[in-house]
Amino acid sequence: MSSVRNLLVTGASGFVGSRLCDVLSNIERFNVTGSVREIKNHRPNFKLTAVGDINGDTDWSGALTSQHLVIHTAARVHVMKEDCSDSLEKYREVNVAGTMSLARQAAAAGIQRFIFISSVKVNGEQTKLGKPFTAEGLPVPVDNYGCSKKEAEDGLLQLGAETGMEIVIIRPTLVYGPGVKGNFASLVQLVGSGLPLPLGSIRNLRSLVALDNLVDLTITCIDHPGAANEIFLAADGEDISTSELLRRLANAKGVTSRLVQLSPTILRFGAILIGKKAFAQRLLGSLQVDISKNREILDWKPPLSLDEGLKRLFVNDQDN
């Protein structure tokens, strides 16, 4: 499209939202506004607007003025150690009530398309080898985060059917890139430590998505007519075992991989003993997704290979 389109990106200070705003602000046909809880520092390459906490009462009227499209990345993210007895309600407050309030106000403001960054956790937690999740498969969320994302998706699709606002849902697998946190950051640190890791015998398969691949898919969904009212899974298109991932991380960082062969059964049992069952599942289990729908409908394929994505994790290391 030749005319400039005004875009509101929520969660502009987050891992995905900040990168998305940076990339979009360098594309001439887009005028980007990023929403944050509060403005702590000035971002010269795109406009910021403060909306406060996100819940069912958030007033988005100022942020939505003159916008054509919303990309909603803000969320209460998955917490590894959730100890709140009402954690589902806390997820719902942001991820369901907050999302639906924004979407209703967006529809009332005449927003043409609403892109929702959801999660593969809507599909479930694991797959059997060679049987990947698909966008059209039956969702089976397990944890409270996944359940809240599924409820938000259902509400958005119903709202779209009622109002005519186009809904696009993107479910990323584990997203990695510069600034990544959580378990992936821990793996990167372990690889860089040079310590022997007892993970050389793991033969699982997992789909990952580089941050810039997710950003590219999201940008494709802004204008593509085929994206309207569809669900897409986001991944790099190459599934990898935990053992191979560690080897490739070491190669990307330019260090020697030191993997020790230890039975996955022993690893799983040891993880249970020390209360790390969920973490062990992510290391030992499989989670594959099929992104063929993206190619068929959007003519989209990941611009970065997995190895190229991993190398971007260490760009600052190379500069130093």
| Lowest-pLDDT range of 35-39, 70-74, 114-118 | 35-39
Is residue 8 within 8 Å of 70, Cβ to Cβ? Answer: yes
Kindly compute the dihedral angle of the four CA atoms of residues 50, 54, 59, 63, in this order, to the nearest 10 degrees: 40
- The pLDDT of 32-38, averaged and rounded, is 95
Superfamily of domain 5-180+208-237+289-303: NAD(P)-binding Rossmann-like Domain (3.40.50.720)
Q: Is 145 known to be catalytic?
A: yes
Report d(CA 206, CA 235) in Å as an integer: 10
Q: What digits encode the pLDDT tens for the residues 190-224?
A: 898 888 888 888 999 999 999 999 999 999 999 99
pLDDT of residue 183: 85
**7: which strand partners?**
32, 69
Catalytic residue, candidates 30, 46, 60, 145: 145
Alpha helices by DSSP H, the chain: 15-24, 61-64, 87-91, 99-108, 144-163, 182-193, 211-223, 242-253, 264-273, 277-284, 292-298, 306-312, 315-319
Name the pLDDT band for 43 (thresholds 50, 70, 90): low
Q: What digits encode the pLDDT tens for the residues 93-113?
A: 999 999 999 999 999 999 999
| Lowest-pLDDT range of 140-154, 242-256, 270-284 | 270-284
Report d(CA 290, CA 16) in Å as an integer: 21
pLDDT of residue 171: 98
Domain-by-domain residue ranges, the chain?
5-180+208-237+289-303
Quick one: tokens of 119?
């999660």
Q: What digits encode the pLDDT tens for the residues 71-87?
A: 999 999 865 455 455 58
42, pLDDT greater than 70: no
284, pLDDT greater than 90: no
Give the CA distances from residue 208 to residues 5, 81, 107, 184, in Å, rounded to whole numbers and listed in that order: 30, 22, 33, 11
pLDDT of residue 53: 95
